[in-house]
C-alpha cells in the first residue's frame, strides 16, 4: 500500500513561491494500475518525484509498505530508489552508447547481481516486453520510439521493483504505440506490482484502475 497524507511541495527558488503539490492525500493498494492526469504545470511530475524518493516534500508523509519514505535519510532513499522503484520517462533516458541488453543490465550491475544472472534476466525481460533476438543488441538510435520505451520498461523491471513510476511514457509516441505501451504497463500489475503512470491523455487514463486528477497542485478527483 502507498499512503500519501497531507502532502505539500513548495518551490521557493523563484520570486514567488510555487505550491506544486498542495495538501494531497490518497492511498493506492498493491497491484493497482493508477494514473495521474492534469494539465501541464498541475504538479504531476513533482508528485511522481516525491513518490519515487527523488525529491523531499515540504510537509506531509508518504508511506510505502512499512517505510515512511518522506522522513528517511538520503542513504535509505538511495536504497529505496534502487530496490523498490522502477522509473520510466517520456524521453526514454536510455544510454546511447549501450545496447538494449546493456541498458537493461545496468541497474542490476548497481545492485551487484552477478554477470551471468544479469545477462539471463535482461534477455528474459526484453523478451517479456516484446523486444526479441537481434534487436536486443542494437543501440537505442537503431530502435523505434516504441521499442526504446520497451527497453526502458524492461530496465525499470530489472531489480524487481514493487512500484513502477512512469512520467508521460507515451508522450513521444504515436497514439497506437502509446496504447501498446500502456497495455504493456498494465500487464505488469499481475504479480502485485503497482504501476503509476502520468499522462494528459484521458483515453489512456481511462484504461487504469484509479485516476487521480490534479489541478494547480490539488487533487480534484
Ligand X SMILES: Nc1ncnc2c1ncn2[C@@H]1O[C@H](COP(=O)(O)OP(=O)(O)O)[C@@H](O)[C@H]1O
> Does residue 13 belong to the site contacting ligand X (CB under 6 A)?
yes
Beta strands in 48-198 (DSSP E): 59-64, 67-68, 85-89, 163-167, 194-198
Task: Cell 502507498: give the residue.
Answer: 2
Return the residue of 7, 20, 100, 204 that touches ligand X, per CB under 6 A: 20
| 57/135 with CB nearer Mg ion | 57
Cα(54)–Cα(200) distance, rounded to whole angstroms? 22
4: its cell numbers: 500519501
> Does residue 221 belong to the site contacting ligand X (CB under 6 A)?
no
**Residue-wise over 179-199: b if at least 16 C-beta within 10 A, else e?**
bbbbebbeebbeeebbbbbbb
**Shortest spacing between CB 204 and Mg ion, in angstroms:** 15
Find the part of the chain contacting ligand X (CB under 6 A) among 6-14, 73-81, 82-90, 132-140: 6-14
Return the residue of 3, 10, 11, 177 that touches ligand X, per CB under 6 A: 11
| Whole-Å CA distances, 31 to 5, 37, 38, 143, 203 | 20, 19, 23, 30, 21
Per rule CB under 5 A, count of chain residues that contact Mg ion = 2
Find the part of the chain contacting Mg ion (CB under 5 A) among 45-53, 54-62, 89-97, 113-121: 45-53
* Residues 23-52, interacting with ligand X (CB under 6 A): 38, 40-46
24: its cell numbers: 494531497
> Does residue 15 belong to the site contacting ligand X (CB under 6 A)?
no
User: Which of 213, 41, 130 is CA-nearest to residue 221?
Assistant: 213
Cα(140)–Cα(75) distance, rounded to whole angstroms? 31
| 48/105 with CB nearer Mg ion | 48
| 20/182 with CB nearer ligand X | 20
Residue 10's beta-bridge partner residues? Answer: 19
CB under 5 to 8 A by kind: which of ligand X, Mg ion, none does 126 bind?
Answer: none
> Does residue 90 belong to the site contacting ligand X (CB under 6 A)?
no
* Interacting residue ranges for ligand X, rule: CB under 6 A: 11, 13-14, 18, 20, 38, 40-46
* Interacting residue ranges for Mg ion, rule: CB under 5 A: 44-45
Amino acid at each position: 500500500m502507498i499512503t500519501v497524507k497531507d502532502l505539500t511541495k513548495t518551490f521557493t527558488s523563484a520570486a514567488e513561491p510555487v505550491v506544486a503539490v498542495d495538501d494531497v492525500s490518497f492511498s493506492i493498494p498493491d497491484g493497482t494500475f493508477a494514473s495521474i492526469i492534469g494539465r501541464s504545470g498541475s504538479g504531476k511530475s513533482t508528485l511522481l518525484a516525491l513518490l519515487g524518493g527523488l525529491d523531499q516534500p515540504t510537509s506531509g508523509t508518504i508511506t510505502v509498505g512499512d517505510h515512511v519514505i518522506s522522513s528517511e535519510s538520503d542513504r535509505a532513499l538511495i536504497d529505496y530508489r534502487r530496490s523498490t522503484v522502477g522509473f520510466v520517462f517520456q524521453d526514454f533516458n536510455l544510454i546511447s552508447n549501450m545496447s538494449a541488453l546493456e541498458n537493461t543490465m545496468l541497474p542490476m550491475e548497481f545492485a551487484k547481481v552477478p554477470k551471468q544472472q544479469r545477462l539471463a534476466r535482461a534477455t528474459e525481460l526484453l523478451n517479456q516486453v516484446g523486444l526479441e533476438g537481434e534487436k536486443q543488441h542494437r543501440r537505442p538510435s537503431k530502435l523505434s520510439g516504441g521499442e526504446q520505451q520497451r527497453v526502458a520498461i524492461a530496465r525499470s523491471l530489472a531489480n524487481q521493483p514493487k512500484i513502477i513510476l512512469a512520467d508521460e511514457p507515451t508522450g513521444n509516441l504515436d497514439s497506437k504505440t502509446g496504447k501498446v505501451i500502456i497495455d504493456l504497463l498494465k500487464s505488469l500489475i499481475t504479480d502485485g506490482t503497482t504501476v503509476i503512470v502520468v499522462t494528459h491523455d484521458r483515453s489512456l487514463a481511462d484504461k487504469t484502475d484509479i485516476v487521480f486528477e490534479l489541478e494547480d497542485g490539488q487533487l480534484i478527483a
